A and B are shown apart, each in its own frame.
Chain A
Amino acid sequence: MDIKSKRILIILTIVVVMLVALLNAYPGKTRSAKVVDMSSITLPSYQLPNGYITKEQAIRIAVKAAEWHLHKGEKPRNIQCLLLPYGIGRKILYGIPSVSEKQFKSLEKGRLNKEELNQYINKYYERDSKLMYFVIMDVNRYPGEVFMRFPPNPKFKPRLIDGKYLTTQDTYVIDAQTGNIIEHGYYGIVKHIYPEQK
């Protein structure tokens, strides 16, 4: 190797080391929120059976739950609420596919007899057809107000806006019959604008 090659190699080494050090020092910047805009979609309305909770009641339940761990003065905002069957709501809003009968049969092959399998499928579809309120709202949370089971790494912490708080879009799925919250969570850097409902 001649002197020129050696110099190039040394320079390359220094550049690589500096680059790696820089990447480590600045592992990533907080992204501005990505918006998933579904407002151009119009969904049908669903008739609310007697005795079910109203949209306003569902929103109150969700807001109360959101405020449970929220610092004083902070109020949820941009509240959106849809009334949808569970399976349809998860499919449209979260992109989670429903399991078809055919898929069920292949999953359960050899494990359940025909009668058990039918009961099982009916149970699944019964839940999928239950009316639920899907409520979302924007909330500014301090790090201590963000609940999460088993984060991926004990040292893994979310990046904060201005080093203070995290703006989340809280999500609540509320059983329209019982008023129970059956799912809750939040979006971090992704914000959603829900479809319209006639």
Chain B
Amino acid sequence: MKHKIKVLLALMLLTIIFLFPGTMTICKNTHSKAYGYDNYSNYYAYGYINWIFKRQWTGGSVKFENPNPDYETPNSGANQTIWCSTNSSYTQWVEAGYAKGKQGDSNARYLYWASGRYDNNGNLIEYSEGDCSTPPGVPGLVHKYTIIYYDNPGCFMLFIDGYLEQTYSPEFKKYIRKIEIGLESQDYRNVCGKVHPYQMSYFSENDNSWHSFAQANPKVYTSARLYHFKWGDSRHKDYGEDWIE
């Protein structure tokens, strides 16, 4: 009889895992990836270092070299990004980075911030983005991007090179569940050679200090290297590949 109950419980567990695959992603090892997908009929391609955990983490930081040579974005934009989820969720986030190209000006270069929230039912609550006041500087120049939650005044803040650039809405609540660092292109025809992150780190409230990604537990991060992204052609929009130098 006990055996039957065990089998029954195992079946229940398997059913839940099958129906909610997200429940098993806690220890997923994603390393560096690049892939594209047809998102609302736009083309996005991602390269990211993904790191999933359940900890009391309240900040993420990275040093990015401005792309050198710069992105070629004749048709649409591209950006390198630090992306931090908020509110212990995967559906609310704040982000910042370097961007090339914007509406009506494919040569525009700027540092940007953005944030967005969906509810648990997949309904979009809000999305916003804007330019930072720090000028991007020349290709190859390094900027440090830090997103961190401060209890007082009670919101996430974005620092670029140590200067406060933006404060986010208090609706983006404490605790980061995932940090992504990488490259995004909104058109497969863009030329985005590489992204070079340094000193990727997270802030832990447990000991009130910064740690490198490599110290993450579970440890799913590989060291800071040059990540290259090669986009698929127009016939293979959902395909991309990357390699590490």
Name A residues whose Cβ lies closer than 8 Å to a Cβ of B: 1, 6, 9-10, 13, 16-17, 20-21, 24, 27-31, 65, 68-69, 94-100, 103-104, 106-107, 111-112, 120, 123-124, 127, 143-159, 166, 168, 171, 173, 182-190
Q: Which of B12, B116, B168, B170 is A16 in contact with, Cβ under 8 Å?
A: B12
User: What A residues does B170 contact at CB under 8 A?
Assistant: 95-97
User: What B residues does A96 contact at CB under 8 A?
Assistant: 155, 167-170
Assess whether B216 is interfacial by the CB under 8 Å rule: no
| CB within 8 Å for A149 and B154 given contacts A1-B1, A96-B170, A182-B131 | no
| CB within 8 Å for A27 and B122 given contacts A94-B169, A185-B127 | yes
Name B residues whose Cβ lies closer than 8 Å to a Cβ of A: 1, 4-5, 8, 11-12, 15-16, 19-20, 35, 37, 39-42, 44, 46, 79, 81, 83, 85, 90-93, 95, 103-104, 112, 114, 116, 118-131, 133, 150, 152-155, 157, 162-164, 167-171, 180, 184
| CB within 8 Å for A149 and B126 given contacts A9-B5, A99-B164 | no
Known pairs A65-B103, A147-B42 / 8 extra A-B pairs, C-beta < 8 Å: A13-B11, A28-B119, A98-B153, A103-B152, A152-B93, A185-B126, A186-B126, A187-B126
Closest to A26 in B: B121
Interface centre among B20, B167, B180 (most CB of A within 10 A): B167
Contact B121 A31 (CB under 8 A): yes
| CB within 8 Å for A97 and B46 given contacts A24-B20, A186-B126 | no
User: What A residues does B164 contact at CB under 8 A?
Assistant: 99, 104, 107, 120, 124
Bound-state Cα–Cα, A103 to B164, Å: 12
A169, chain B: closest CB distance, angstroms: 9
Contact A20 B116 (CB under 8 A): no
| CB within 8 Å for A10 and B131 given contacts A152-B90, A187-B125 | no
| CB within 8 Å for A157 and B1 given contacts A97-B170, A149-B129 | no
- 23 of the cross-chain contacts (CB-CB < 8 Å) are A17-B15, A20-B20, A21-B19, A27-B122, A28-B122, A30-B121, A31-B123, A98-B153, A103-B152, A107-B164, A112-B162, A120-B164, A143-B41, A146-B40, A149-B112, A149-B129, A150-B95, A151-B39, A151-B116, A158-B123, A184-B129, A185-B128, A188-B118
